[in-house]
Structure 1
Amino acid sequence: MSSISFIGVGGMAHAIAARAVTGGHSIELIGRDPANAKGLAAELGVEATVGTFGTVPAGDIVVLAVPYTSAVPVVAHYGDALAGKVIIDISNTFNADATALVVPDGTSGAQEIAKAAPASAHVVKAFNTVFGHVLVKDRPLDVLFAGDDLQAKASVSAFIESLGLRPLDVGGLEMARWLEGVGPLLMGLARNGAGTFDVALSVDFPG
């Protein structure tokens, strides 16, 4: 297994890191306040490495677990410290009432993050189509992902599978906009047709 770095120590970082630990990965937790990273490590019950914000992350895979409003500035702040890394963007880009996306037509949050990242880094969109509180449950789930670099996508796919989840590749990074559009779709489903936020999308392959 490998070392996975998390920039951001909120709910989604907790959910993915918990599965990563179970999957045998070592984890590095990075927050602007090291006390918050140490707090998450304590919640997880593991001896995670606590990294320094803005320095080179230890992991070859870096989970960017911050809100989209912070994502581009954080990546720009890191600059060349992210060179050669596979960056998993888990952010959602919908507005306050989850009825529309805040990014302009023709692009996505993931693509804007990729523009801010070093040329040798590769951004893969993943995990934004699964609610964090659902992700922490020990159940099979589908994780849709998109990216332009085949090797980076293979690494992310293997990582997803190691978490006991099913990776489903939807294509190049231009597809990230449509993955981000799943956010409002899920919110609408939870509030209306399902009547609960304990929902997840799955894909069936008829035999």
Structure 2
Amino acid sequence: MTSITIFGTGNMGQAIAGVLARGGADIQHVGSLDTDARIAGDIVVLAVPYPALAAIADSYGDQLAGKTVVDITNPLDFSTFDALVVPVGSSAAAGLQERLPEAKVLKAFNTNFAATLASGTVGGQPTTVLVAGDDAGAKTALIDAVQAGGLAAVDAGALSRARAGGPGLPAADPRRVREDRLDGRVHPREVTSGRSPSSPRTPAVVLTAARPPASVGA
């Protein structure tokens, strides 16, 4: 049985846990502010806001060595929501890999809504999770776990595909983001149709396994 630890108990953390549990994974939840938990999972999903990544890496770096670590964040400036906070050409995932050189960092779930992960469909098509990373075995393990949970999953290429401002579908256009609450903090989520914050939102692009985009965004 696959063992997966999920940091964060908000909308995305719960939705991802639901998908992976449906596939038979054993799920451990860790609060994003916990600093002394024992990590049981071989795969560790960081379902937290981008600013929490550094503290988790600092607190759990030794335990995360050798594990697959999944970054789902979109690194927006939360004070303005009009800019990214990582250098041009870099990404949240690349920065996390630098902090955790012995971990196998993947980028995934950052283009998904909690609701469409839970429902399993987007616009009548299967919800698709894009997975980028440099370790083929780590990507295969996550893709298998997602598919076992009933969703589609696509190998989106190397971790460099997660760079901010890369070609293809941007994960977090700051003018068009959905805000999910994770542990009481605003967490930007999927690209949306560009409607005003008070209007109903629909995904800007329906992704299917047959047509993966060139980039998974930041």
Query: Which of residues 112, 117, 127 in structure 2 aligns to 1:130?
Result: 112
Gaps of 5+ in 1: 34-51
1:115 is matched by which residue type in structure 2?
Answer: E
| Cα distance change on mapping 1:123 and 1:204 into 2, 3 Å | closer
Instruction: Please tell me whether the aligned partners of residues 131 and 156 of structure 2 are also in contact (alpha carbons under 8 angstroms).
Output: yes
Query: Which of residues 45, 49, 67 in structure 2 aligns to 1:85?
Result: 67
Secondary structure of 1:20's aligned partner = helix
Could you give the per-residue CA deviations for residues 108-156 of structure 1, whole angstroms, max 9, x where no partner exists? 0001111111x33100000000011221114321111110111111111
Could you give the per-residue CA deviations for residues 50-93 of structure 1, whole angstroms, max 9, x where no partner exists? xx743441110001111101112211211211111000111111
* CA root-mean-square deviation: 2.5
Instruction: Please tell me whether the aligned partners of residues 89 and 123 of structure 1 are also in contact (alpha carbons under 8 angstroms).
Output: yes
Sequence identity of aligned pairs in percent?
Answer: 36
Instruction: Please tell me whether the aligned partners of residues 61 and 86 of structure 1 are also in contact (alpha carbons under 8 angstroms).
Output: yes
Instruction: Please tell me whether the aligned partners of residues 131 and 154 of structure 2 are also in contact (alpha carbons under 8 angstroms).
Output: yes
Corresponding residue for residue 147 of structure 2: 161
2:109 is matched by which residue type in structure 1?
Answer: F
Deviation at 1:203? 3.4
Secondary structure of 1:183's aligned partner = coil
Distance in 1, matches of 2:9 and 2:169, equals 21
Distance in 1, matches of 2:40 and 2:50, equals 23
Instruction: Please tell me whether the aligned partners of residues 76 and 172 of structure 2 are also in contact (alpha carbons under 8 angstroms).
Output: yes
Corresponding residue for residue 95 of structure 1: 77
Query: Which of residues 97, 116, 122 in structure 1 aligns to 2:99?
Result: 116
| Cα distance change on mapping 1:201 and 1:100 into 2, 3 Å | farther
What does residue range 2-151 of structure 1 map to in structure 2 within 5 Å? 2-31=2-31, 53-96=35-78, 98-117=81-100, 119-139=101-121, 140-151=126-137
Deviation at 1:204? 6.8
Deviation at 1:104? 0.7
Gaps of 5+ in 2: 178-190, 212-218
2:22 is matched by which residue type in structure 1?
Answer: T
Corresponding residue for residue 156 of structure 2: 170
| Cα distance change on mapping 1:61 and 1:27 into 2, 3 Å | same
Deviation at 1:197? 2.3
Corresponding residue for residue 40 of structure 1: none
Structure having the higher helix fraction is 1
TM-score w.r.t. length of structure 1: 0.79
Instruction: Please tell me whether the aligned partners of residues 94 and 180 of structure 1 are also in contact (alpha carbons under 8 angstroms).
Output: no
| Cα distance change on mapping 1:76 and 1:138 into 2, 3 Å | same
Deviation at 1:32? 5.3
1:197 is matched by which residue type in structure 2?
Answer: R
TM-score w.r.t. length of structure 2: 0.76
Distance in 2, matches of 1:14 and 1:189, equals 21
Instruction: Please tell me whether the aligned partners of residues 66 and 102 of structure 2 are also in contact (alpha carbons under 8 angstroms).
Output: yes
Deviation at 1:196? 2.9
